Structure 1
Amino acid sequence: MNVIDAAYQRRAIKHFDPDHEISSDEERKLLEATIQSPTSFNIQHWRFVILRDPQLRSKIRTEWGNDQAQMTDASLLVLFTADMKAWEKEPHRYWRNAPQEVADLLVNWMGPFHEGREWLQRDEAQRSIGMAMQTLMLVAKGMGYESCPMIGFDIQKVSELIKLPKDHVMGPMVAIGRGTKDAWPKPGQLSLDEICFENGFI
């Protein structure tokens, strides 16, 4: 499936085959494609928590997840988080394959760009999470799988459950698997005339 077809056909599927398993090779392929997503300064600050334990997934679903069936029935459940302080943690490793002068330039920019701007660190983390999520869902569709992004869970409780570090931010979950029921027809997309503006808002 080409990427344009995947973009049009990707839907948030709520019903998954609970008996289907994604192989370890397929899972690795999905995640390796996901980390091709862009990040500011190439800091790659996403951190993916693979929620694999059935009891853990069931607890999240029944106690803090509004009983969303895809949390337990999907073959793969990925919780997206990001390290907001990744920019100051051995930043040279993000540019280890670049020419030295390029690496030095960008690493030296990284600190002044982020320091003292906690709002920007959080915004950058969430932007990166969003891009990685979309990559994961499009690749999954291209591999013949369905997906569902989810925010309907108690962020604080799940943060405690997974022991989210204090310098990390929580993002949504994405369920991946074999769908068993088609999504509803698309409810309607706004026209480009409504959402695209030439050179600014008039």
Structure 2
Amino acid sequence: MNTLEAISSRRSVKHYDPEHRMTEEEIEQLIGHAILAPTSFNIQNWRFVVLTDPELRQKVRAAAWDQAQVTEASITILLCADLNAHLKDPARYWKDAPKEAADILVPMIEPFYADKPQLQRDEAMRSCGMAGQSIMMAAREMGYDSCPMIGFDPDAVAKLINLPDDHCIGFMITVGKALKPAWPRPGQLPLSDVMVRDQFPSS
């Protein structure tokens, strides 16, 4: 499957085969592709909580309006982010880069985010979004379907996964073998409604 096919065929699947299990190799392959997603300054601030424990997943399902896909999909992934990744040995993010690049960029990381909690959170959401799309595209290539989800109580889920205080949850993605396809696409806006050439019209 090529990239354009993966994009056009990706749907938010709600019904999965609860008997199917992904292998550990498949899970690592999926997350291994997710960590290739871009992040600002290469801070790699995403954290992927892969839920496989049946009891924990049942509790998360209860905090997600009892949506069945949380437990019926092969895995559920919580896309989280470390809001203070810019403070945690930023040199490691550029350890394999040419010295001249690292010497310029590493000193820029901490002051760029310092004392800017909104920017830190915005960056977390951007990073989770790009990694999430990578997960869903990789899942399609691997023969799986997925569903991004925000329908859950983030505070309750944070407690269930022992989320550190300096982390936040972006969203969750279920991945598994579809039992039945998603509904037809409900209606895409025309490009004329969403694509702007150069500037928005003046009011």
One-letter amino acid of the structure 2 residue matched with residue 51 of structure 1: L
- What do residues 119-167 of structure 1 show as CA deviations (whole Å, max 9, x unaligned)? 0000001100000000000110111100011111111111111111111
- What SS does the corresponding residue of 2:61 show, helix, strand or coil? helix
Cα RMSD of the aligned pairs, angstroms, is 0.8
Instruction: Give the Å deviation of 1:47.
Output: 0.5
Instruction: Give the Å deviation of 1:3.
Output: 0.6
Alignment map for 1:111-126 (pairs within 5 Å): 111-126=110-125
The runs of 4+ residues in structure 1 deviating greater than 2 Å are: none
Number of the residue aligned with 1:165 = 164
State which drifts further: 129-138 or 25-34. 25-34
Partners of 2:101 and 2:161 in 1: how far apart? Answer: 37
Instruction: Give the Å deviation of 1:113.
Output: 0.8
Number of the residue aligned with 1:45 = 45
One-letter amino acid of the structure 1 residue matched with residue 34 of structure 2: T
Task: Give unpaired runs (5+ residues) of structure 1.
Answer: none
One-letter amino acid of the structure 1 residue matched with residue 32 of structure 2: E
Number of the residue aligned with 1:3 = 3
One-letter amino acid of the structure 2 residue matched with residue 50 of structure 1: V
One-letter amino acid of the structure 2 residue matched with residue 154 of structure 1: D
Partners of 1:51 and 1:27 in 2: how far apart? Answer: 11
Partners of 2:59 and 2:84 in 1: how far apart? Answer: 30
Number of the residue aligned with 1:32 = 32
Alignment map for 1:7-156 (pairs within 5 Å): 7-62=7-62, 64-156=63-155
- What SS does the corresponding residue of 2:11 show, helix, strand or coil? coil
Task: Give unpaired runs (5+ residues) of structure 2.
Answer: none
Number of the residue aligned with 1:198 = 197
- What SS does the corresponding residue of 1:6 show, helix, strand or coil? helix
Using the size of structure 1 for normalisation, the TM-score is 0.98
Partners of 1:59 and 1:81 in 2: how far apart? Answer: 18
Number of the residue aligned with 2:185 = 186
Aligned residues: 201
Using the size of structure 2 for normalisation, the TM-score is 0.97
Partners of 1:51 and 1:24 in 2: how far apart? Answer: 12
